[in-house]
């Protein structure tokens, strides 16, 4: 029998019914699906019951070095000597010869006031002086004539043995001489008065030419040519001249809490906004004994306690620092922040202030991932007081196995960022914990 005569194979049941065959994974689903669900449940339970990972601490090594203590204060730069030039003469300005930023020398003419009226007064004073001198000459001549007349009468009376002239004539002649002497004295006084008036007018005329009283730089010019200047009780300022800007003053306000640490001769540095990142040297010249009180408005915060009168008083003391400005970068009026070096502790152990505030039982989430002390209300004040000089504190030392060890220390001076400590259990190079890193989300 050949292949063409062989009978065909019988169709399967699925082919006979016309249905598609079921995939193998669906046929075995009743076995692997419960197993998968069970495995997921086991993993979730294991994750929930597992121990949390150890915290990732932020640490810093204990340093052994000197701590430079300083006081910070803010103020303004000023010229060492600043002169306000005014006018003592009334009149219009004929010319103004300098402008702002011009350098002037002592005695240099910087403005001229019109002198027509003063010149007329000078001419009148000279005429009065000449008239007084002429009056003196006339009075002197009259005195000389009356003296001669009196001498003649006295000689005649002597020769006549007192018979002539009469006593009345002699007395009249003597009175005339005395009157002439008074006239001469009056004429001399008139001359002195006229001469003084003339000198005063000449002085006034010389003051119409305004000159610089110092060598310096013109900081301000407040007049223009043609403007009328009126000399009144309060002298009007025409120019402001700063003497020698190569050396300036920095005047800062020292808070009453820091004034006991500063004294004359201490070195300082300061910064100005015009040159960010650059520090300029200065030397403290003096600290005023008198306080300078400024009154602040009442705070609107809920935790504040208003003082009497509804305002709080802040007491400060003005300190003057000498600043060298040889390169001319600094200008009067600039706002400066000065740092005055007050003390150096010498070589000592230093820990960051954050290590003194760290508590291992606090949660990092409370401070955005870092351990930090409360910064509100009375607790902040209590903490700051407890970290004061001479207080006993604890720092957490990070061990090699990641655990913490509490070590007691006695605090010393602080610069606000690091604090000097003494402890038998703390050594330089040890790592003290300052916070905890935030957990990854």
3-state secondary structure string across 342-381: EEEEEEEEEEEHHHHHCCCCCCHHHHCCCCCCCCCHHHHH
Considering the entire predicted model, what is its pTM?
Answer: 0.57
Instruction: Considering only residues 90 and 9, tell me which one the structure prediction assigns the higher pLDDT.
Output: 90
pLDDT at 196 over 80: yes
Q: Are 402 and 59 in contact (CB under 8 A)?
A: no
Percent of the chain having pLDDT more than 90? 39
pLDDT at 1 over 80: no
Select from 293, 336, 296, 341 the least CA-distant residue to 317: 293
Q: Are 250 and 321 in contact (CB under 8 A)?
A: yes
Select from 261, 285, 256, 257 the least CA-distant residue to 343: 261
* Residue 226, both tokens: 């043609």
Q: Are 92 and 224 in contact (CB under 8 A)?
A: no
pLDDT at 264 over 80: yes
Q: In the prediction, which pLDDT does 303 show?
A: 39
* Residue 426, both tokens: 């703390």
Cα-based distances in Å from 18 to 9, 11, 24: 17, 11, 19
Q: Which residues touch 133 (CB under 8 Å, ≥6 apart)?
A: 191
Q: In the prediction, which pLDDT does 19 show?
A: 58
Q: What is the DSSP string of 13-79?
A: HHHHHTPPPPPHHHHTHHHHHHHHHHHHHHHHHHHHHSPPPPP-EEEEEPEEEEEEEEEEEEEEEEE
Q: How many CB atoms lie within 10 A of CB 282?
A: 25
Q: How far apart are CA 266 and CA 101, in angstroms?
A: 33
What average pLDDT does the structure give for the chain? 81
* Residue 139, both tokens: 């009075």
Q: Are 143 and 177 in contact (CB under 8 A)?
A: yes
Burial of 11 (0-12, 13-18, 19+ CB in 10 A): exposed
Q: In the prediction, which pLDDT does 298 show?
A: 40
Instruction: Considering only residues 339 and 231, tell me which one the structure prediction assigns the higher pLDDT.
Output: 339
Q: Are 82 and 240 in contact (CB under 8 A)?
A: yes
Average the pLDDT over 291-314 and give the result.
49
pLDDT at 5 over 80: no
Q: How far apart are CA 263 and CA 401, in angstroms?
A: 50
| Strands ordered across the beta sheet of 209-211 | 209-211, 109-113, 91-96, 228-229
Q: In the prediction, which pLDDT does 140 show?
A: 93
Average the pLDDT over 23-33 and give the result.
71
Average the pLDDT over 43-72 and give the result.
79
Average the pLDDT over 116-127 and give the result.
92
pLDDT tens profile 268-295? 999 999 999 899 999 999 999 888 765 4
Instruction: Considering only residues 40 and 321, tell me which one the structure prediction assigns the higher pLDDT.
Output: 321
pLDDT tens profile 386-429? 466 788 888 999 888 888 889 999 998 887 788 899 988 888 99
Q: In the prediction, which pLDDT does 385 show?
A: 41
Instruction: Considering only residues 53 and 380, tell me which one the structure prediction assigns the higher pLDDT.
Output: 53
Q: In the prediction, which pLDDT does 268 show?
A: 93
Select from 356, 364, 260 the least CA-distant residue to 317: 260
Q: Strand 335-352 to strand 418-422: parallel, antiparallel, or no bridges (unpaired)?
A: antiparallel
Q: Which residue has the tokens 């052994």?
A: 64
Q: How far is CA 55 from the centre of its chain?
A: 46
Using CA of residue 334, residue 337, residue 342, residue 344, what is the dihedral sign? negative
Q: Which residue has the tokens 């009780």?
A: 233
Q: In the prediction, which pLDDT does 415 show?
A: 77
Q: Are 334 and 272 in contact (CB under 8 A)?
A: yes
Q: What is the DSSP string of 204-246?
A: HHHHTEEE-SSSEEEEEE---TTPEE---SSPPEEEEEEEEEE
9: confidence class by pLDDT, cuts 50, 70, 90: low
Q: In the prediction, which pLDDT does 425 show?
A: 86
Percent of the chain having pLDDT more than 70? 80
């Amino acid at each position: 029998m050949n292949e063409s005569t062989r009978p065909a194979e019988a169709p399967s049941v699925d082919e006979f019914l016309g249905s598609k065959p079921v995939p193998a994974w669906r046929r075995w689903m009743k076995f692997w699906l419960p197993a998968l669900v069970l495995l997921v449940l086991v993993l979730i339970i294991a994750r929930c019951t597992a121990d949390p990972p150890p915290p990732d601490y932020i640490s810093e090594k204990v340093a052994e070095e000197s701590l430079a203590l300083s006081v910070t204060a803010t103020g303004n730069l000023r010229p060492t000597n600043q002169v306000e030039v005014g006018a003592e003469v009334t009149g219009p300005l004929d010319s103004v010869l300098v402008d702002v930023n011009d350098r002037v020398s002592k005695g240099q003419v910087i403005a001229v006031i019109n002198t027509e009226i003063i010149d007329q007064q000078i001419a009148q004073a000279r005429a009065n002086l000449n008239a007084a001198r002429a009056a003196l000459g006339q009075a002197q001549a009259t005195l000389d004539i009356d003296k001669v007349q009196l001498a003649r009468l006295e000689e005649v009376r002597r020769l006549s043995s007192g018979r002539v002239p009469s006593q009345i004539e002699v007395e009249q002649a003597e009175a005339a001489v005395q009157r002439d002497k008074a006239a001469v004295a009056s004429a001399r006084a008139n001359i002195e008065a006229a001469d003084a008036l003339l000198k005063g007018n000449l002085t006034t005329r010389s003051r119409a030419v305004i000159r610089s009283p110092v060598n310096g730089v013109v900081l301000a010019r407040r007049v223009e040519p043609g403007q009328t200047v009126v000399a009144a009780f309060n002298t009007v300022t025409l120019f402001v001249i700063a003497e020698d800007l190569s050396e300036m003053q920095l005047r800062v306000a020292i808070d009453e809490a820091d004034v006991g640490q500063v004294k004359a001769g201490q070195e300082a540095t300061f910064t100005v906004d015009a040159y960010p990142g650059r520090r300029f040297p200065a030397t403290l010249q003096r600290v005023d004994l008198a306080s300078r009180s400024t009154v602040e408005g009442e705070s609107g915060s809920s935790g504040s306690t208003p003082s009497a009168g509804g305002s709080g008083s802040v007491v400060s003391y003005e300190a003057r620092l000498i600043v060298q400005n040889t390169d001319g970068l600094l200008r009067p009026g600039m706002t400066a922040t000065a740092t005055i070096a007050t003390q150096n502790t010498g070589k000592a152990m230093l820990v960051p202030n954050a290590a003194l505030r760290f508590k291992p039982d606090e949660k990092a989430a409370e401070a955005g991932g870092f351990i930090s002390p409360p910064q509100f209300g009375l607790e902040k004040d209590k903490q700051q007081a407890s970290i004061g000089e001479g207080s006993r504190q604890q720092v957490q030392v990070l061990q090699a196995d990641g655990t913490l060890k509490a070590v007691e220390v006695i605090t010393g001076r602080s610069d606000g960022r690091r604090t000097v400590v003494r402890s038998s259990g703390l050594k330089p190079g040890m790592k003290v914990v300052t916070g905890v890193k935030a957990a990854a989300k």
